[in-house]
């Protein structure tokens, strides 16, 4: 019945007021972290910000680090590294998938 393969978690559909409620942060903080490029909400045609659930999770993480005294710039650097690691993981996954495919292909060829 579903017709779209949408990862709801990443769809940018939440306005800043709801984000404020969900994260407990102030409008000022939420916008400031965007200014410092820690997250990238989208905009409607008229310019109001739209966030995803992922953005909300990220904001909570940011808030935690800020409580530990970590500066926004450091947080940004950390997050970049995280992304790289995720990239590596994807590569590994792809390689493993290739291995499996090869394995099953061979197995099939031999046994049938």
What are the residues binding a copy of itself (CB under 8 A)?
1-2, 6, 8-9, 11, 13-15, 17-18, 22, 44, 50, 53, 57, 61
Minimum Å gap between C-beta 51 and DNA is: 9
Can you tell me which of 44, 77, 106, 107 binds DNA, judged by CB under 7 A? Answer: 44
Distance, in Å, from the CA atom of 53 to the CA atom of 31, rounded to the nearest integer, reads: 16
Neighbours of 54 (CB within 10 A): 15
73 binds, among DNA, a copy of itself, none (CB under 5 to 8 A by kind): DNA
Instruction: Give the DSSP H/E element, type plus range, for residue 43.
Output: strand 42-43
Give me the phi and psi of 15, to 5 degrees please: -80, 165
Quick one: 80 or 105, whose CB is closer to DNA? 80
């Amino acid at each position: 019945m579903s017709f779209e393969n949408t990862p709801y978690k990443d769809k940018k559909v939440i306005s800043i007021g709801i984000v404020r409620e969900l994260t407990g942060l102030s409008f000022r903080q939420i916008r400031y972290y965007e200014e410092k490029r820690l997250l990238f909400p989208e905009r409607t045609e008229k310019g109001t910000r739209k966030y995803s659930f992922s953005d909300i999770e990220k904001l909570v993480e940011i808030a935690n680090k800020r409580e530990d005294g970590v500066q926004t710039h450091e947080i940004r650097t950390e997050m970049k590294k995280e992304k790289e690691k995720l990239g590596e993981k994807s590569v590994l996954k792809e390689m493993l998938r290739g291995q499996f495919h090869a394995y099953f292909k061979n197995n099939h060829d031999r046994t049938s």
